[in-house]
Structure 1
Amino acid sequence: MTIDALSEVRGPARTPVAWMRPGHIGYVGPDLGVDSHSPSVAMLSVGLDAPLVLHTSAHGRIRTGSSFAPARTTQRIVATEGWILALFVEPAGAPSTTIVDEMTSAAGSFGLNHRRERELVERCRAEKINPDHIYACAIAGTAPPADPRIEQVAATIRTDPSQTFRADRIAANLGLSTTHFLRLFTQQYGTTFRGYQRWNRMIHTVRKAVAGHDLTRSAIDAGFATPSHFSETFRDLIGLSATTMLRAGIRFDLGTSPTQ
């Protein structure tokens, strides 16, 4: 998409918004100066006013209208102008393959130029943003059938992120070897068993903090050993500090609790 085409869907200045849903977490707003990071889940980024610049160690700088990074890949996204969409797709909601199929080109493991890029821009520039419509537009395809055993394990992690789950015990309860269980989990959820636990602890912490609870207490309650452990995890997964995000004037739409 050209800069001229993008400029056609610009709207008046509004308050940045971030949302949390059971299957996806998103942000629409100005570039927050995110550093290189490696999320535990897949991430789709879209330039809403101009192309983005994707920075990777293997490919250098890539200018693109939108980019997709699989879970656990290191990247840095910079908006050349205006606002961006950053959509973290939790594997429980839709395997990353449904977005990969919508990218029209690639650079290694990174997908470039989403097929519905223009529609995504328009939905993000709507007077009232609907996160579920943005998500549906991004994934487009139908997720492959899920193994109910693995799905139940992930649901338990989301329900009680503070608990430390051991892969060997879960595998034994399922009648599987630990290696086979871990392979099935990664295949179905697009990230590691441990990475999925870290992601959900972080989401639980942020949800509580946005709801008005003390950030430090929320981090401990979510299962982080120390506040610094949470801070390091957040920066590694998101690319900036939690404090910076919470003080950025963002309107948070918490939607439905992921435990419901």
Structure 2
Amino acid sequence: MTVGALSEICGPAKSPVVWMRTGHTGYIGPELGVDPHSPSVAVLSIGLDGPFVLETAAHGDIRTGSSFAPARAVHRVVAPEAWILLLFVDTAGAPATGIAEEMTATVGPYGLGHRRERELIELCRADAVDPDRIFAQAIAGHAPAADPRIERVAAAIRQDPNRTFRAETIAANLGLSTTHFLRLFTQQSGTTFRGYQRWTRLMHALRDVATGRDLTCSATDAGFATPSHFSETFHHMFGMSASGVLRSGIRFDLGTSPAP
């Protein structure tokens, strides 16, 4: 496994890539035949070779060119032998709301038909893909201002993912009740306090693995109690095993520095 520089990220017909940035993690590559899954953060999916099928439990199969699934919404994208963009959005700047507002239709909790779908496809097909430009196009500058208190908490979690943060302690430090803090965190970030900690640990472990570290050690250092805990969490988030991802030939672009 190698870490690809930004200039090496290539669109369809070349090699698939995962990038990791503060605020967003993306994948451009073939649809990998995943199981239904439920990420702890929101995800924008776009078919780069044409429409795909969004499978949902409560709303059936939906054919669309792009979809937005909020955090914890169970789904999977089905596009056999076709390339897709998956853009997972973090709490930084509350971007999930900005993307949701760019969808032109809804079915239940899912948004359909991104207004800039064509432009995003073109960006993904470029010879040198710019992850930050894709992210900016996806939110179109419409992300609302985030509560600075929640941004500080999220940043602390990212900086120390293996630490167990207690909602009661943080709430007391902010002068809030625990219930109010947990509600505010979910409203601002689009995911739960515990769910965000799981996501951050997973991203920390994946980043370490991408640099060549042992998977078991990376998972332990990120705060997972056991390798099986990490494996279960990874499958729940992405619908496939971590080893399956690592065997798929995906390259990793980690940017210039780890996410704060």
The TM tier, using the shorter chain, reads over 0.9
Q: Report if the CA contact (8 A) 2:33-2:80 is conserved.
A: no
The residue number in structure 2 matching 1:45 is 45
Question: In structure 2, how many angstroms separate the alpha carbons of the residues matched to 1:221 and 1:204?
Answer: 9
Residue 251 of structure 1 deviates from its aligned partner by: 1.3
Moved more, 242-251 or 226-235: 242-251
Please report how far the alpha carbon of residue 146 of structure 1 lies from its aligned counterpart in structure 2 after TM superposition: 1.9
Q: Secondary structure at the match of 1:76?
A: strand
- Whether 2:67 is the aligned partner of 1:85: answer no
Task: Mark the runs of 5 or more structure 2 residues left unpaired by the alignment.
Answer: 1-10
State the partner residue of 1:236.
236
In the alignment, what sits opposite 2:5? Answer: none
Give the match for residue 144 of structure 2: 144
Counterpart CA distance in 2 for 1:178 and 1:99 is 29
Q: Which residue of 2 aligns with 1:224?
A: 224
1:25 maps to a residue whose letter is: T
Matching residue of 1:163 = 163
Instruction: Tell me the TM-score normalised to structure 2 length.
Output: 0.93
Report the Cα distance in structure 2 between the residues aligned to 1:84 and 1:29, rounded to whole angstroms: 6
AA paired with 2:119?
A: E
**Aligned twin of 2:133:** 133
The letter of the residue matching 1:91 is T
- Relative to structure 1, the CA distance from residue 93 to residue 147 in structure 2 (aligned partners, 3 Å threshold; closer, same or farther) is closer
1:98 matched to 2:122? The reply is no
2-structure distance, mates of 1:94, 1:180: 18
- The TM-score, its normalising length taken from structure 1, stands at 0.93
Contact 1:50 1:80 in 2 (8 A): no
Query: Is the aligned partner of 1:19 residue 2:41?
Result: no
Partner of 1:3: none
Please tell me whether the aligned partners of residues 21 and 255 of structure 1 are also in contact (alpha carbons under 8 angstroms): yes
Q: Cα distance, 1:174 vs. partner?
A: 1.0
Q: Tell me the CA shift for residue 115 of structure 1.
A: 0.4
Q: Which secondary structure state, in structure 2, belongs to the residue aligned with residue 92 of structure 1? A: coil
Separation in 2 of the partners of 1:53 and 1:140?
25
SS at match of 1:39: coil
In structure 2, the partner of 1:120 is: 120
CA–CA distance in structure 2, aligned partners of residues 113 and 79 of structure 1: 16
SS where residue 196 of structure 2 aligns?
Answer: helix
Contact 1:22 1:93 survives alignment (8 Å): no
Q: SS at 2:170's partner residue?
A: helix
Amino acid corresponding to residue 121 of structure 1 in structure 2: I
Q: CA deviation at 1:91?
A: 1.8
- The C-alpha deviation readout for 1:72-102, integer Å capped at 9, x for no partner, is 1000111155200011011224331101111
Percent identity, aligned pairs only, is: 70
Partner of residue 109, structure 2:
109
TM-superposed CA distance for 1:256, in Å, is 3.8
Query: What is the letter of the counterpart of residue 89 of structure 1?
Result: V
Where 2:183 maps in the other structure, the secondary structure is helix
- Where 1:28 maps in the other structure, the secondary structure is strand
**Structure 1 residues 85-94 or 180-189, which shifts more?**
85-94
Deviating above 3 A after TM superposition, structure 1's stretches of 4 or more consecutive aligned residues are 256-260
Work out the CA distance in 1 between the residues paired with 2:143 and 2:203: 23
**Structure 1 residues 51 and 149 mapped into 2: Cα distance closer, same or farther (>3 Å)?**
same
RMSD: 1.2
Query: Residue 143 of structure 1: CA displacement?
Result: 2.0
Q: Tell me, what secondary structure is at the counterpart of 2:95? A: coil
Partner in structure 1 of residue 64 of structure 2: 64
Write the distance in 2 (CA, Å) between the matches of 1:78 and 1:56: 11
